[in-house]
Amino acid sequence: MTKYKLEYIWLDGYKPVPNLRGKTQIKEFADFPTLDQLPLWGFDGSSTLQAEGHSSDCVLKPVAHFPDPARANGVLVMCEVMMPDGVTPHPSNSRATILDDQDAWFGFEQEYFFYKDGRPLGFPEHGFPAPQGPYYTGVGYKNVGDIARKLTEEHLDLCLAAGINHEGINAEVAKGQWEFQIFGKGSRTAADQMWIARYLLMRLTEKYGIDIEWHCKPLGDTDWNGSGMHCNFSTKFMREVGGKEYFEALMAQFDKNLMDHIAVYGPDNDKRLTGKHETAPWNKFSYGVADRGASIRVPHSFVNNGYRGYLEDRRPNSQGDPYQIASQILKTISEVPTEAFKKAAA
Ligand code: ADP
Ligand code: MN
Ligand code: MN
Ligand code: MN
């Protein structure tokens, strides 16, 4: 038997953005445990804005698990928060009731800032560094400093070792701003991996005295880019049948549901989706081929392939909840029946 360190990770009850929480318990298993072997656990919900009345115990239900590469015999255990009965989802549980579809693929591009001493990493104590331009995908000390790349590389290795579908890294437009991409099949699979990747990044940077600023516009109304979490998505129908008519019907539905999308695309998005800095205004839906100033960017490959493939919704922001974002996209897609277009494409 081996003693495993099980890190139970969950989202707390803070609004509008939940925080990641985690605590460890040690359990013995003959081998790396299966998800079914991981027991329910509890925590004090009164300390996380999740307590209901006088009984403050909430239940942690393991829903996904990964090897924890930073710990000997470690396991990262993503949990849903349940009511004391262990079966009713807690009101803060944004995962339990979402739409899911294993054939829907999601690629999230998570942007964020490294922060040190209350300002973006690499910003001088007073004033600003040289304006934006050379930082995006940049190289060299004056562009990326001496620590950011080490952090993003370490994070990449941690994610890969945990079995997370990390797909890439790039330095972003603002100084101290970076991006990583996570891909998954199914909204829960993709979003669980995103939350664990966020957790690994935050835990990694503790020892460097560096924080992650997830806010979508930390530098406010300035000439410094905000942070998004573009959501690339495709269903089986979009990949295999598609067609221009279906695409246009889908875009009309996205237009109609504008406010439902914005509601779950992350707080303060009006400060980011201004029409500047490669964004579309938050209150007007648009799409365009290779257009980074549109709400939805249509890749060239999509059009060249007969309106088949994936689309990029550029509106979700860096603080958005990937469970809710993926689910809303699936909801809008579900409102456009595919039957009529199967005939048209045949
Ligand atoms: P860009 O910065 O040009 O917008 P990225 O390369 O950062 O694009 O991200 C593209 C994302 O699209 C990746 O996360 C990738 O996983 C995702 N992706 C690629 N193909 C598909 C697909 N068929 N369905 C859903 N997502 C996809
Ligand atoms: Mn990208
Ligand atoms: Mn980006
Ligand atoms: Mn993008």
pLDDT digits (tens, 9 = 90+) for 63-77: 999 999 999 999 999
CA distances in angstroms from 56 to 40, 61, 300, listed in the order given = 16, 16, 53
Under 8 Å between Cβ of 64 and 52: no
Q: Are strands 177-185 and 311-313 parallel, antiparallel or unpaired?
A: unpaired
**Per-residue pLDDT band at 343 (split at 50, 70, 90):** low
Q: Is the CB of 105 under 6 A from ligand 1?
A: yes
What's the predicted TM-score (pTM) here? 0.97
Q: Is 140 exposed, middle or buried (0-12, 13-18, 19+ CB in 10 A)?
A: exposed
Does residue 95 have a pLDDT over 90? yes
CA of 229 to the centre of ligand 2 (A): 9
Confidence (pLDDT) at 278? 87
Q: Is the CB of 183 under 6 A from ligand 1?
A: yes
Confidence (pLDDT) at 20? 98
Q: Which atom of ligand 1 is nearest to the CA of 170?
A: 7
Does residue 54 have a pLDDT over 80? no
Q: Which domains does the chain have, with CATH numbers?
A: 2-82 (3.10.20.70), 105-345 (3.30.590.10)
Query: Which protein residue has the closest C-alpha to ligand 1 atom 11?
Result: 107
Q: Is the CB of 310 under 6 A from ligand 1?
A: yes
Mean pLDDT of 139-150: 97
The alpha helices in 146-282, defined as continuous H runs, are: 148-161, 187-206, 236-240, 244-256, 258-264, 269-272
Confidence (pLDDT) at 77? 98
Does residue 344 have a pLDDT over 70? no
For ligand 1, mutation pick of 229, 232, 298, 314 (most atoms within 8 Å of CB): 232
Mean pLDDT of the chain: 96
Cα dihedral 158, 160, 166, 171 sign: positive
Structure tokens at 313: 């919704």
Query: How large a percentage of the chain has pLDDT more than 90?
Result: 95
How far is the C-alpha of 195 from the C-alpha of 49, rounded, in Å? Answer: 19
CA of 345 to the centre of ligand 4 (A): 28
pLDDT digits (tens, 9 = 90+) for 220-276: 999 999 999 999 999 999 999 999 999 999 999 999 999 999 999 999 999 999 998
CA of 185 to the centre of ligand 2 (A): 18
**Per-residue pLDDT band at 53 (split at 50, 70, 90):** low
Mean pLDDT of 3-28: 98
pLDDT digits (tens, 9 = 90+) for 295-330: 999 999 999 999 999 999 999 999 999 999 999 999
pLDDT digits (tens, 9 = 90+) for 159-188: 999 999 999 999 999 999 999 999 999 999
Q: Is the CB of 230 under 6 A from ligand 1?
A: yes
Which stretch of DSSP H or E encloses residue 62?
A: strand 57-68
Confidence (pLDDT) at 52? 67
**Ligand nearest to the Cα of 112, by number:** 3
CA of 168 to the centre of ligand 1 (A): 10
Under 8 Å between Cβ of 99 and 188: no
Q: Which atom of ligand 1 is nearest to the CA of 232?
A: 26
Residues near 82 by beta carbon (within 8 Å), at least 6 away in sequence: 40, 58, 59, 60, 61, 88, 89, 90, 93
Query: Which protein residue has the closest C-alpha to ligand 1 atom 18?
Result: 107
Residues near 146 by beta carbon (within 8 Å), at least 6 away in sequence: none
Confidence (pLDDT) at 59? 97
**Per-residue pLDDT band at 51 (split at 50, 70, 90):** confident
Q: Which atom of ligand 1 is nearest to the CA of 309?
A: 23
Confidence (pLDDT) at 277? 85
How far is the C-alpha of 91 from the C-alpha of 82, rounded, in Å? Answer: 8
